[in-house]
């Protein structure tokens, strides 16, 4: 009877198109020639529907994997040759065989197979059914994770063929994908993990109270004490050093005869001023040790030109896309070392695509450093004029003032000096003064910035904002003249100074 096979576990082969199904027989309809399987598996993967029904015309073969305990003993361990396989049926009605026809087959018991084969030459079971695979993991340790592969994973055993799609490459790729990504849907959790509920189980206040209690008893050694806000360790920025160091000494420069004024850098280091006599002595000792006038001129010219380029706009003004707006600088120089420093600065500016106009009066005799710097400047694209009338009538971008001298104050009475000062004050351009002298009188040219060399002089308010540049004087040269010196420049060659006295 067909009812005798209800509850049996069977494997139905529906050909290459539909594949292989496994499941437990739930119904057999003799009239409509159908068979239904519950808890079906398709090619080794559990189906999403609870039950599937097959027509006899779609069944190419049928294997009985297990018989219920009530009717017969299980035969899933029987040799493959004793398992009933239905022949393939065509679609024109010929060759059909009902599923219950297999009930007429005499299926030997397990003990019969052993008795008929005393030598143990019977073939071993061909494969493990999905029931065997489910019960197999019960004897594994807890940390064992069973891998759920598709039907192709059973192809390691004999007499089983992995279903392919007409032997094409796409079928091979799908079988390989199922091998890698096939997973039993029973092990996928139905609900998402409740993060908020799990976090609510953590009592933060109780944990901190326990830590504080442990530290008060001396267990923590006070290393992790939360304490009051004043006792907590400070919070550091990403650019601050968290390693403890020696206390910062802000007065690292000490001069024997201060100039009467003190400055400080942006980092708080105190830079005292010196008198002009100390400044002259410092340059004399440096020249004796090899820091010649030419080296000082080159160094001061580079620092002054770098500061001037920054004042002119830096990369926003000087770039290949903005060559139609080249800045113009007017350079006012006298026939002395200060003038030579200005000429050196103008040469470097001209090398950086700045339109430089040098004003230098014609003199019968000039110092050798001035002549050398002038010869180098004439090799650039800069322009030299000797008359104030040849200077531009329109405002320029920057005026560099190098007319004054520390020792020759009589130059202020010269007609060319007064004419140059008048032109600078009427041009309305900002003025940068290089190494201005200390004077009690108001300077003729009102400077916005002043650049000092080495150590500053005690300049007045008319000098504008004071900057300091490093001209390369060695530290032992400062020590030889009695100055305790530590460089305040850091990573820069030009730094701003702020007055500490009102």
**Residue 287 within a domain:** yes
414 lies in which domain range?
A: 258-499
**Which of the listed residues 188, 206, 233 is the one where a domain comes to its end?**
188
Same domain, 166 and 267: no
Mean pLDDT rounded to a whole number for the chain: 77
**Residue 249 within a domain:** no
pLDDT the model gives residue 184: 59
**Residue 271 within a domain:** yes
Same domain, 139 and 262: no
The DSSP letter of residue 476 is H
Q: Is residue 76 over pLDDT 80?
A: no
- Could you tell me the strand order of the sheet in which 465-469 lies? 383-385, 355-359, 328-333, 398-402, 431-434, 449-453, 465-469, 494-496
164-205 pLDDT, tens digit each: 444 445 666 666 776 676 665 556 666 788 888 888 888 888
Reading phi first (left if > 0) and then psi (alpha if -120 to 50, else beta), residue 324 is in alpha
Q: From 250, 247, 245, 271, select the one nearest 259 (Cα to Cα).
A: 271
Averaged pLDDT, 452-468: 91
Same domain, 355 and 462: yes
382 burial type by CB count under 10 A (0-12 exposed, 13-18 middle, 19+ buried): buried
Same domain, 48 and 164: yes
130-139 pLDDT, tens digit each: 444 444 444 5
Torsion angles phi and psi, residue 485, rounded to 5: -125, 135
Q: Which residues contact 49 (CB under 8 A, 6 or more apart)?
A: 40
- CATH code at 281? 3.40.50.10260
- CATH code at 105? 2.30.30.100
**Which of the listed residues 150, 169, 188 is the one where a domain comes to its end?**
188
Question: 61-75, 293-307, 344-358, 438-452: which has the minimum mean pLDDT?
Answer: 61-75
**Which of the listed residues 155, 188, 221 is the one where a domain comes to its end?**
188
227-268 pLDDT, tens digit each: 455 556 667 788 877 777 777 888 999 998 877 889 999 999
pLDDT the model gives residue 64: 86
Whole-number Å distance between alpha carbons of 84 and 62: 7
Q: Strand, helix or coil at 235?
A: coil
Averaged pLDDT, 28-33: 86
**Residue 223 within a domain:** no
Taking the model in full, what pTM does it have? Answer: 0.54
Whole-number Å distance between alpha carbons of 445 and 443: 5
The DSSP letter of residue 85 is B
Q: Strand, helix or coil at 495?
A: strand
Are 402 and 337 in contact by the 8 Å Cβ rule? The answer is no
Whole-number Å distance between alpha carbons of 237 and 48: 57
Whole-number Å distance between alpha carbons of 326 and 318: 7
Same domain, 158 and 271: no
**Residue 238 within a domain:** no
Q: How many domains does the chain have?
A: 2
110-167 pLDDT, tens digit each: 334 333 444 444 433 434 444 444 444 445 454 444 444 444 444 444 444 444 444 4
CA 439 to centroid of chain Cα atoms: 55
**Residue 427 within a domain:** yes
Whole-number Å distance between alpha carbons of 385 and 391: 7
293-341 pLDDT, tens digit each: 999 999 999 999 999 999 999 888 888 887 778 899 999 999 999 999 9
**Residue 207 within a domain:** no
**Residue 269 within a domain:** yes
């Amino acid at each position: 009877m067909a009812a005798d096979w209800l509850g049996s576990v069977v494997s139905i082969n529906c050909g290459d198109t539909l594949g292989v199904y496994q499941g437990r027989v739930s119904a057999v309809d003799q009239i409509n020639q159908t068979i239904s399987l519950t808890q079906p598996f398709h090619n080794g993967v559990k189906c999403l529907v609870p039950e599937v029904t097959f027509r006899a015309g779609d069944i190419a073969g049928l294997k009985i994997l297990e018989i219920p305990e009530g009717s017969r003993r299980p035969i899933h361990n029987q040799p493959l040759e004793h398992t009933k396989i239905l022949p393939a049926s065509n679609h024109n009605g010929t060759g059909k065989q009902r599923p219950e026809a297999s009930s007429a087959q005499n299926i030997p018991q397990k003990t019969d197979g052993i008795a008929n084969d005393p030598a143990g030459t019977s073939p071993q079971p061909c494969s493990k059914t999905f029931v065997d695979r489910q019960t197999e993991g019960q004897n594994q340790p807890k940390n064992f994770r069973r891998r759920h592969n598709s039907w192709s994973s059973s192809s390691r055993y004999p007499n089983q063929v992995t279903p392919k799609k007409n032997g094409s490459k796409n079928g091979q790729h799908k079988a390989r994908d199922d091998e890698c990504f096939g997973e039993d849907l029973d092990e996928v959790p139905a609900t998402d993990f409740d993060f908020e509920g799990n976090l609510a189980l953590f009592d933060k206040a109780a944990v901190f109270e326990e830590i504080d209690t442990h530290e008060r008893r001396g267990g923590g050694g006070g290393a992790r004490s939360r304490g009051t806000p004043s006792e907590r360790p400070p919070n550091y920025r990403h650019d601050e050093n968290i390693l403890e160091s020696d206390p910062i000494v802000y007065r690292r420069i000490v001069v024997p005869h201060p100039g009467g004024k003190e400055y400080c850098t942006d980092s708080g280091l105190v830079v005292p001023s010196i008198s002009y006599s100390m400044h002259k002595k410092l340059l004399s000792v440096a020249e004796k040790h090899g820091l010649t006038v030419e080296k000082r001129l080159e160094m001061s010219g580079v620092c002054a030109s770098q500061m001037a380029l920054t004042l002119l706009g830096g990369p926003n003004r000087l770039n290949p896309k903005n060559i139609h707006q080249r800045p113009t600088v007017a350079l006012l120089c006298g026939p002395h070392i200060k003038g030579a420093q200005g000429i050196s600065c103008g040469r470097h500016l001209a090398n950086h695509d700045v339109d430089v106009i040098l004003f230098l009066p014609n003199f019968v005799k000039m110092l050798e450093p001035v002549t050398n710097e002038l010869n180098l400047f004439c090799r650039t694209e800069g322009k030299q004029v000797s008359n104030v009338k040849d200077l531009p009538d329109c405002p320029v971008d920057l005026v560099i003032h190098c007319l004054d001298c520390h020792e020759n104050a009589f130059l202020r009475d010269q007609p060319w000096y007064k004419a140059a000062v008048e032109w600078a004050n009427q041009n309305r351009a900002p003025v940068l003064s290089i190494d201005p002298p200390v004077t009690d009188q108001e300077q003729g040219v009102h400077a916005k910035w002043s650049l000092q060399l080495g150590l500053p002089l005690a300049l007045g308010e008319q000098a504008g904002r004071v900057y300091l540049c490093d001209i390369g004087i060695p530290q032992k040269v400062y020590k030889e003249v009695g100055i305790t010196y530590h460089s305040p420049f850091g990573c820069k060659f030009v730094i701003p100074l702020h007055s500490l006295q009102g």
